[in-house]
Amino acid sequence: MNTTIREKLEEAVRRYGMRAFIYHDVIARECFSRGYSSVTPGMEAWAKQLTNSSKDTDPLVSLFLDRVINDFKRSPPDIRKPLNYKDALGKHQACGAYIHFKAMMQSTCPEGEWADLSKELDTAFYDQFLDADLLSALQSSVPPGDVGAIGAMRQCHIKL
């Protein structure tokens, strides 16, 4: 596991408590480690997008941890629950798909419009509005996939 990711994860555990924040199976299955892959049957074509890099800096692991922390913090304290492996798997897959489709959007977007569009997409992603479409795109297509399959991206794509 990357040192920066380890430190950020340890800080979250210290702040929220291991039992409240994340189950041990997520750590034991090495979801934050180099080379971890969240590919499930039917998604084999997306292995590259769903596998943590072996590099020290990995946008997938960073986004995944940010999303896990963000989702926890945004949940009302009375209904917070620790992240289990099944939910972690879906979040990891959504993060991999988001990075992929966002890069596709950026390649078609006029440079001057990308900053605002990127913020709009990030907000939708962190609000969990894109997850169902992202996971559906992974299950029903092969790379490069169709940006139009992602609702919020479809709307942004139409604007272009």
Q: How far is 102 from 39, CA to CA, in rounded Å?
A: 19
- Enclosing domain of residue 34: 3-159
pTM exceeds 0.75 for this model: yes
pLDDT digits (tens, 9 = 90+) for 39-92: 999 999 999 999 999 887 899 999 999 999 999 999 999 999 999 999 999 999
Domain count for the chain: 1
Burial 118-156 (b: 16+ CB within 10 A, else e): eeebeebbbeeebbebbbebbeeeeeebebebbebbeeb
What number of other Cβ atoms are within 10 A of residue 32's Cβ?
A: 24
